[in-house]
Amino acid sequence: MATTRHVRFWDRIADRYAARPIKDPTAYEAMLADAAGRLSPTDRVLEIGCGTGSTAIRLAPHAAEWTATDFSPEMLRIARAKPAPANLRFVLADAGSAFDGGPFDAICAFQVLHLVGDLPGTLARIHANLKPGGLLISKTWCFADMGLKLRSLFLALRLIGLFPAARALTKIALRQAIRDAGFEIVDERVFGTNPNGPYIVARRPARA
């Protein structure tokens, strides 16, 4: 569940976050293309941690319904001000309460799993709210795999309120947590040059 402190942090940085350019547009476009190719025009999709909505706006046309959730009112204020497809709706909800209307054909979690306080619980809720055969499409920062200098920088930024509380995941631990939740990992890729932000697609088995 999102704490008041977490909500205040993301509300405070929302405008600056929205104005920040994408660091690697080519990698971002490649990730969008892969995610879009995994969706069907009949799919009902949930996105948790949608931020200012840019990814939801790009991917929603590839599904029948797209529900994009975030716990930050300021992030959603920015998202709702953007031109968006008619099948996209933005909903104020955190990762613990975002699943109304399930089960879904796909659930997207872009740059959010390292931010949740209860990773096993969040993955279990995602699994429970996917249809059998449904997909988890995710991209996650694995800070524990980064160099000491970079990890120290993030810690210093966090101490002065410029970086969010984040779980120090390794790629190995992330994969294991996804499998422990009952998923089958069907693809893992790195888009761009940073190997520590894996894009993982996992399926809820059809037999589950």
- Within 13 Å, how many C-alpha atoms sit on residue 41's CB side? 0
Its domain, for residue 56, covers 4-203
* Confidence (pLDDT) at 9: 81
Tell the residue number behind the tokens 């009949």, with chain if given: 42
d(CA 166, CA 87): 32
Cα–Cα distance, 98 to 48 (Å, whole number):
7
CA dist 49 and 110 (Å) reads: 7
CATH number reported for the structural domain that contains residue 98 in this entry? 3.40.50.150
| Overall pTM surpassing 0.75 (yes/no) | yes
Predicted confidence at residue 123, as pLDDT, reads: 95
Q: What is the pLDDT of residues 182-195, one digit of tens each?
A: 999 999 999 998 88
Q: How confident is the prediction along the chain (208 residues), in pLDDT tens digits per residue?
A: 556 777 888 788 789 889 989 989 999 999 999 999 999 999 999 999 999 999 999 999 999 999 999 999 999 999 999 999 999 999 999 866 789 888 999 999 999 898 888 899 999 999 999 999 999 999 998 877 665 555 454 454 454 454 455 567 899 999 999 999 999 999 999 999 888 889 999 999 987 5
| Residue 18 lies inside a defined structural domain of this protein | yes
Residue 101 — left, alpha, or beta (φ > 0 → left; ψ -120 to 50 → alpha)? left
Nearest 5°: CA angle at 171, between 51 and 186?
80
Tokens describing residue 179? 């499998």
Domain assignment present for 103 = yes
Assigned domain for 111 exists? yes
Residue 100 belongs to some domain of the structure: yes
208 lies in some domain: no
Taking the CB of residue 63, how many other CB atoms lie within 10 A of it?
23
Residue 12 lies in a domain: yes
Looking at the structure of the chain, the number of domains it has is 1
Whether 40 is covered by a domain: the verdict is: yes
